[in-house]
Amino acid sequence: MSIFVDENTKVVYQGLTGSQGRYYGMLNREYGTQVVAGTNPKKAGSDVDGIPIYASVADAVAETGATASCIFIPAPGVRGAIMEAAEGGVEFIVAITEGVPAHDEAWFFNKLRRDFPNVQLLGPNCPGIISPGKCNIGITAGHIAKSGGPVGIVSRSGTLTYQALYELKQKDIGVTTCVGIGGDPVPGTSFIDCLRAFEADPETKAVMMIGEIGGSAEEEAAEFIKHHMSKPVSSYIAGVTAPPGKKMGHAGAIVSGGKGTAQAKMDALGDAGVKVGLNPTEAGDLMAEIVASL
């Protein structure tokens, strides 16, 4: 199986008529994803390479049965786009856009939790999600992922998401689903959300988790793994050599008050029984050992 999306997922692209939305929308469709609609109120009634354009997500859902949305809207419009998707009836929203104001992220995160508890938001500022051989929503290159399981991947870093997929493919290890949650301060989907879903998925036998400095998400994930995960986990934490007090890369990757360091995260994960690699390749090697023992 896979988590969140599969071959039956129908996706509406908010921003399909833009250059980036069109480029990745076409790539996702070529991969096999059911890209069934796009939205643009000024271009309703037209199409993009045969994909119909609707004035709103609600119209697209009514006409095509879309169950997911992918957002390629400029940052100032993401808040409105996410609410349009939720109100329009989709169950899974992937927001690729970077640079979304943290205030907006906090607002729609809490709005969705309060008023749309059945809607799952992934992102913003994330590479998206891929269930290899079934569905690819976002900007992940499909050819670097091997299908067939038994490993699930969750990562804060987009680039390291790709490396994790490729490391496993080089070892002939398949993946059920790979989720890039993004590194912004208020991600719509957390490590724990993904770990819980992987734990419940019968075809996912082990999980690879990629974290980075800043915040407490990895420590919280370690507590969840310790008390609620029966499946083995390997991990890598980026930022071991980051200078103290410096923000590295993502908006959420800032260490303050002695908290959020790579070592603290690695210690917490190790205490939870996670096999922690010192680099992405070592994390892949550790996962290969885990898979061999399954």
Contact indicator for 245, 178 with CB cutoff of 8 Å: no
pLDDT of res. 250: 55
Q: Which residue did the predictor score with more confidence, 88 or 256?
A: 88
> CA Rg, the chain, in Å?
18
Higher pLDDT, residue 213 or 257: 213
Contact of 39 with 54, CB cutoff 8 Å: yes
- Residue-wise pLDDT for 239-281, tens only, equals 776 666 655 555 555 555 555 788 999 999 999 999 999 999 9
Give the mean pLDDT of the chain. 94
Rounded Cα distance between 129 and 93, Å, is 11
Query: pTM for this one?
Result: 0.94
Whether 227 sits among the annotated catalytic residues: the reply is no
Model pLDDT, residue 213: 87
Homologous superfamily of the 10-122 domain (CATH): NAD(P)-binding Rossmann-like Domain (3.40.50.720)
* Mean pLDDT score, 101-113: 97
Do 155 and 209 contact (CB within 8 A), yes or no?
A: yes
Which tokens hold the place of 225?
A: 């793994």
Compare 7 and 247 and report the one with higher pLDDT: 7
Q: Any idea which residue has 């790579």 for tokens?
A: 262
| Residue 240 confidence (pLDDT) | 76
* Span 125-146, pLDDT tens digits: 999 999 999 999 999 999 999 9
Domain locations in the chain? 10-122, 141-293
- Residue 270 tokens read as 């190790």
* pLDDT for res 48: 97
Does the 141-293 domain belong in CATH 3.90.1150.10? no
pLDDT at 254: 52
Phi-psi region of 99 (alpha: psi -120 to 50; beta: other; left: phi over 0): left
pLDDT tens across 154-199, in order? Answer: 999 888 999 999 999 999 999 999 999 998 989 999 999 999 999 9
pLDDT at 245: 60
Position 147 pLDDT exceeds 70: yes
Q: Catalytic pick from 103, 143, 228, 250?
A: 250
